[in-house]
């Protein structure tokens, strides 16, 4: 009887895996010919993300997709994931995190339905929120890089404009000569928008909306206003470059002033206890030699 039950259970599990494998094979492969390569971690779980996207994508509302698209744009990952794939990644992340906590409980040999339910809930929440944390980290790194590179690009554009080129030609020269990075990619997207027939003011507005940075919004507003009233682009760009360079210096000064405060917690938690431990050992030896202890 036990053997029959074991064979039946094994057959059910095998059929379930066979059905899942057949369903995965029926899911169409995502066309990534025009997208950026996936990070290593995403490549490992991409088949599951593709399946979750196939199931969940048609059921998502437009406002959720718009919100996800905005998050991907500001983090510079809109050519890595689509909004539907982002939600698929969240579902897969929730499942993987819950499975991880289950494995930890099994290794610790902890039982109880309530404990496993809490682990499932906690893991699902952590896995669902992790892609948002990943995008937030990418967004911060991208903004730091843009703040660092913006004065250099503005200097290139200013020299090109003062040499006789228009603003589009100056931006093209800056993308060729300037450092590679997120700002260079956004400027190239701006040039592609203009070449496809989009008005320059609208292309600049779209770039500001994609990046959601006050520095870029100020620059695009100044360029649009100078273009409308016929002001000198060279003087406008030079003023913007000086202002961005001063902001970068003030930001670096602010980070330097914050360093002692940020170092206080590691010093109190890790460094000072070790010093007291070493000093206490020598004090103990001296008191032992003097006969106090």
Q: What confidence tens digit (pLDDT) does each residue in 157-202 have?
A: 888 888 888 888 888 999 988 888 899 999 999 999 999 888 888 9
Its pTM stands at 0.76
- The arithmetic mean of pLDDT across residues 217-232, rounded, is 83
Give the mean pLDDT of 218-238.
82
Q: In the structure, what pLDDT confidence band is assigned to residue 236 with cuts at 50, 70 and 90?
A: confident
pLDDT of 15 reads: 64
Note the pLDDT of residue 270: 82
Q: What is the mean pLDDT of the chain?
A: 84
Pair of tokens at residue 173: 């020269």
Q: Residue 27: in which H helix or E strand, if any?
A: none
Q: Identify whether the C-beta of residue 30 lies closer than 8 Å to the C-beta of residue 42.
A: no
| pLDDT the model gives residue 17 | 61
Check residue 278 and give its pLDDT: 85
Contacts of 205 (CB under 8 A, 6+ apart): 220, 224
Amino acid 129: pLDDT: 93
pLDDT of residue 233: 80
Taking CA 223 as the corner, what is the angle to CA 219 and CA 198, rounded to the nearest 5 degrees? 110
Whether residue 88 contacts residue 57, with contact meaning beta carbons closer than 8 Å, is answered with yes
* Cα distance between residue 293 and residue 284, in whole Å: 8
Per-residue pLDDT for 4 more than 80? no
Q: How far apart are CA 131 and CA 210, in angstroms?
A: 19
The pLDDT value recorded for residue 283 is 83
pLDDT tens track for 102-121: 888 888 877 778 888 888 89
- pLDDT of res. 266: 83
Per residue in 17-72, pLDDT tens?
665 666 566 666 766 677 778 888 888 888 888 888 888 888 889 999 999 999 99
Here the tokens at position 65 are: 């997709």
H or E element, residue 50? helix 40-56
pLDDT digits (tens, 9 = 90+) for 119-128: 889 999 999 9
The predicted pLDDT at position 125 comes to 93
Contacts of residue 56, defined as CB under 8 A and 6 or more positions apart, other chains included, come to: 84, 87, 88, 91
Residue 238, number of CB atoms within 10 A of its CB: 18
**Among 22-26, 159-163, 273-277, 281-285, the least confident range:** 22-26
């Amino acid at each position: 009887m036990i053997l029959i039950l074991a064979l039946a259970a094994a057959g059910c599990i095998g059929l379930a895996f066979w059905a899942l494998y057949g369903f995965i094979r029926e899911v169409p492969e995502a066309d990534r010919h025009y997208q950026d390569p996936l990070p290593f971690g995403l490549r490992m779980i991409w088949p599951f993300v593709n399946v979750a996207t196939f199931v969940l994508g048609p059921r998502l509302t437009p406002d959720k997709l718009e919100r996800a698209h905005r998050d991907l744009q500001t983090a510079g990952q809109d050519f890595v994931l689509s909004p539907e794939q982002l939600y698929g990644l969240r579902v897969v992340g929730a499942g993987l995190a819950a499975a991880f906590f289950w494995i930890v409980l099994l290794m610790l040999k902890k039982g109880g339905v309530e404990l496993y339910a809490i682990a499932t809930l906690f893991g699902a929440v952590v896995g669902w929120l992790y892609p948002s944390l990943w995008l937030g980290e990418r967004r911060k790194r991208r903004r730091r890089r843009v703040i660092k590179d913006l004065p250099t690009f503005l200097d290139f554009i200013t020299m090109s404009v003062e040499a006789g080129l228009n603003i589009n030609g100056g931006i093209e020269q800056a993308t060729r000569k300037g450092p590679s990075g997120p700002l260079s990619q956004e400027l190239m997207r701006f040039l592609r928008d203009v070449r496809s027939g989009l008005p320059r003011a609208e292309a600049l507005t779209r770039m500001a909306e994609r990046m959601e940075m006050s520095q870029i919004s100020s620059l695009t507003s100044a360029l649009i206003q100078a273009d409308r009233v016929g002001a000198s682009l060279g003087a406008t760009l030079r003023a913007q470059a000086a202002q961005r360079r001063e902001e970068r210096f003030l930001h670096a000064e602010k980070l330097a002033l914050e360093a002692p405060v940020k170092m206080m917690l590691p010093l109190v938690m890790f460094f000072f206890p070790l010093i007291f431990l070493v000093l206490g050992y020598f004090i103990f030896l001296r008191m032992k030699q003097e006969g106090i202890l």
